[in-house]
Amino acid sequence: MSIVANKFSGVRAALCYDKYSAKMSRLHNDANVLVLPGRVVDKETVKEIVKIWFTTPFEGGRHRIRIDKISAIEGKLKCR
């Protein structure tokens, strides 16, 4: 699902399978779509992932450069 979602301009989808990946996807990548695995994560972990993902802000700073580069590429490429 994250592969398909990331084909669309403006989408930064992240597959998060634990608390660390959830935090880092927001903190460093400013992910705006959360993708969860269906078979490898239990319900309690999913709840923790969702909470962390929604409450972690984008850190910005040096990470903003990467997001700006992605946005520049999206401006040149069109989704088919």
Give pTM, 2 decimals.
Answer: 0.85
How confident is the model at residue 79, as a pLDDT? Answer: 53
Assign 12 to helix, strand or coil.
Answer: coil
Is residue 63 annotated as part of the catalytic site, yes or no? no
pLDDT digits (tens, 9 = 90+) for 26-80: 999 999 999 999 889 999 999 999 999 999 999 999 999 999 998 888 887 555 5
Residue type, 74: E
For 2-76, CATH gives 3.40.1400.10
Catalytic site residue from 12, 19, 23, 28: 28
